Amino acid sequence: MDFSPTEWERAVAFHGHSCPGLAIGYRAAKIALRELAAGRAGDEELVAIVETDACGVDAIQALTGCTLGKGNLLYRDYGKHVFTIGDRKTGAAVRVALKSGAWQEDESYRSLRERVFSGQATPAEKELYGRYQEQRLQHILEAPEEEVFKAEHVELAMPAKARLFNSVTCAFCGEPVAEVRARVKEGRYACIPCAENYSRGWGVK
């Protein structure tokens, strides 16, 4: 693969540590940028739609320049390692998905992970888990692309660019809130946390 130590280090620095999940996002970003013949976005030239909130999203942000703050990173809560990157200039888009089987998790691994994250693992178990994670990371970074990912050019209706909105002051907590997100309570502006929900079971906020 086209591995760049500088870009990998950038992703690790942004995320805080190296891990298999970050490696997934790193390779997905590299694949998408290659297929789009694009570089890192300085503004909103690219848009990313991510279907997970896991570690790989940080690599997508670091490499593509699509970030939540710029408004060109959109999150879909699907729980899938799927990343779609679109180029506003050309209209082209690439969807990169982790393949089934690329991330093997047997029962012993899941049990070990549970012990580590619950704080019950012994030092030996922690060391073993670390070795497993390093092996997974290297496999994701080094395995042939077609073994780990499915990449395809797709049609993408480009989302509108991020907009700037005026702020109003919540009459109840005194904090500014974007006008488009404000509610009205007792005839006055209210932020969402201060507004009372009235749903009658319908889940309307």
Chain segment 140-173, per-residue pLDDT in tens: 999 999 999 999 999 999 888 888 889 999 999 9
pLDDT, position 45? 95
Task: Centre a 10 Å sphere on the Cβ of residue 86 and count the other Cβ atoms it contains.
Answer: 27
Task: Centre a 10 Å sphere on the Cβ of residue 2 and count the other Cβ atoms it contains.
Answer: 10
pLDDT, position 190? 94
Q: How confident is the model at residue 33 (pLDDT cuts 50, 70, 90)?
A: very high
Once rounded to an integer, what is the mean pLDDT over residues 105-129?
Answer: 88
Once rounded to an integer, what is the mean pLDDT over residues 122-141?
Answer: 91
pLDDT, position 198? 55
Q: How confident is the model at residue 107 (pLDDT cuts 50, 70, 90)?
A: confident
Q: Does 202 score more than 60 pLDDT?
A: no
Once rounded to an integer, what is the mean pLDDT over residues 87-99?
Answer: 96
The answer to whether 171 and 190 have CB atoms below 8 angstroms apart is yes
Instruction: State the sign of the Cα–Cα–Cα–Cα dihedral 16, 105, 148, 136.
Output: positive
pTM given for the model = 0.83
pLDDT, position 197? 63
Share of the chain above pLDDT 90, in %: 74
56-76 pLDDT per residue, tens: 999 999 999 999 999 999 999
Residues 6+ away with beta carbon under 8 Å from 169: 175, 176, 177, 189
194's tokens: 């201060």
Q: Does 200 score more than 70 pLDDT?
A: no
Closest CA to 30 of 149, 139, 138: 149
β-strand 188-190 against 183-185: which pairing, if any? antiparallel
Spatial separation of the C-alpha atoms in residues 61 and 72, rounded to whole Å? 10
- DSSP secondary-structure letter at 12? H
The answer to whether 35 and 25 have CB atoms below 8 angstroms apart is no
Q: Where are the alpha helices (DSSP H) in the chain?
A: 5-15, 20-36, 56-64, 107-117, 123-142, 145-148
Q: What is the 3-state secondary structure (H, E, C) of 168-186?
A: EECCCCCCEEEHHHCEEEC
Q: Does 48 score more than 70 pLDDT?
A: yes
Once rounded to an integer, what is the mean pLDDT over residues 63-90?
Answer: 96
The answer to whether 59 and 29 have CB atoms below 8 angstroms apart is yes
Task: Centre a 10 Å sphere on the Cβ of residue 196 and count the other Cβ atoms it contains.
Answer: 8
Q: How confident is the model at residue 105 (pLDDT cuts 50, 70, 90)?
A: confident
